[in-house]
Amino acid sequence: MVCEKEQLDEAEPGKSSATSTGPDRLSPQERLEASPAGQWVVRAFLAVTVTALIVFNFPGSGIRSLALPFVERYINATGLTQGWNVFAPDPPGFTSEVVARIEYLDGTSVRWQPPRGGDLVGEYRTYHWAVGSGRLQGEGWRSLREPFARWLARIHSEGGRRPVRVELISRIRPNLPPGTDAPSPPWKESTVFTLDLRSDGGR
């Protein structure tokens, strides 16, 4: 019995233990952070991100105006957009969103609205929908409207129902001053994009 135990305890030459923590057992992130090239990538990412945030939050100046077209693309792509005008003395004067009307081949239709979270932490989960609505409403981001409408058509194709038309509708209403007891003004709606799936064969 003792001999058998000693044989089991001896490591065979050229074989590593099953509990090895060598490079072959590291996660992709750990391998990246452990390599010299990976460390340079992480440092470069942090340097670019911090620089972009500083420039993006500069007061109006010649440097900011020159760099903003490049910085803004990076900030938007990474989701680091910061809108400090939600605070006094110049909060937004209106609320806006994009909704959609999806028509089916059988003549019925449904109305899609951006998801809304609860009062406690819901805003943190659904804020990106508010940002997305702003993009879809802006003329500078018109190229996003068709892909978004096609995505809505895909997710509403369940159960054998076939969407044939998708309308993206912009909704805007003014914000009342804080402490006002009056009911909120009605929404003003306008169609910003229409996708007719019958004309393109339902691509």
Which pLDDT score, from 0 to 100, does residue 75 have?
84
What count of Cα atoms within 13 Å lies in the side-chain half-sphere of residue 122? 8
What pLDDT was estimated at residue 128?
80
pLDDT for the residue 109: 95
pLDDT of residue 120: 67
Laid out side by side, the sheet with 109-112 consists of 109-112, 94-104, 163-174, 188-196
CA atoms in the 13 A half-sphere facing the CB of 165: 11
According to the model, what pLDDT value does residue 2 have?
46
- What is the separation of C-alpha 147 from the centre of its chain, rounded to a whole number of angstroms? 15
Query: In 3D, which of 201, 93, 190, 182 has the Cα closest to residue 139?
Result: 190
Which residue type sits at 188? K
> From residue 104, how far is each of 113, 168, 192 by CA, in Å?
17, 15, 20
* DSSP per-residue string spanning 164-184: EEEEEEEEEEEPPPTT--SPP
What's this model's pTM, rounded to 2 decimal places? 0.56
pLDDT reported for residue 107: 92
How many C-beta neighbours within 10 Å does residue 168 have? 23
pLDDT along the chain (203 residues), means of 10: 46 45 69 85 90 80 81 82 63 87 95 81 74 84 93 90 95 87 91 90 59
54-59: Cβ within 8 A, 24+ apart: 56/80, 56/82, 57/82, 57/84
